[in-house]
Amino acid sequence: LRHLITSYSSVIKQYYIECLSTLDSNDLQSNIKNLNMSCTEDESILLTSFYNTITTLATSTSADLRALRLDWFRMQAYTS
């Protein structure tokens, strides 16, 4: 199994990026609209940053998920 994962890591990464940029971004956008009333300004900024990062993944040639991870850590730190 490990050999298969390492052999097809680029295919798995591309699939993950396509799912994030299409399905997950649409769900996130609808959730942001629903939560906008009850979120603080900081939470709203972080969620919008999530959305912007995810939607730009499809157009970038090499996906860099560091910004998404950083925003995720910020959200976790903010809500804890």
Q: What is the pLDDT of residues 19-56, one digit of tens each?
A: 887 887 888 888 888 887 788 888 888 888 888 888 88
Per-residue confidence (pLDDT) for residue 5, from 0 to 100: 92
C-beta of residue 22 within 8 angstroms of C-beta of residue 58: yes
> What total number of domains does the chain contain?
1
**Going along 1-80, which residue ranges are E strands?**
none
- Cα separation of 57 and 48, whole Å? 14
Which range marks the domain in which residue 10 is found?
A: 2-79
- Name the percent of the chain in helix, strand, coil, to the closest 5: 80, 0, 20
Per-residue confidence (pLDDT) for residue 59, from 0 to 100: 67
Per-residue confidence (pLDDT) for residue 8, from 0 to 100: 93
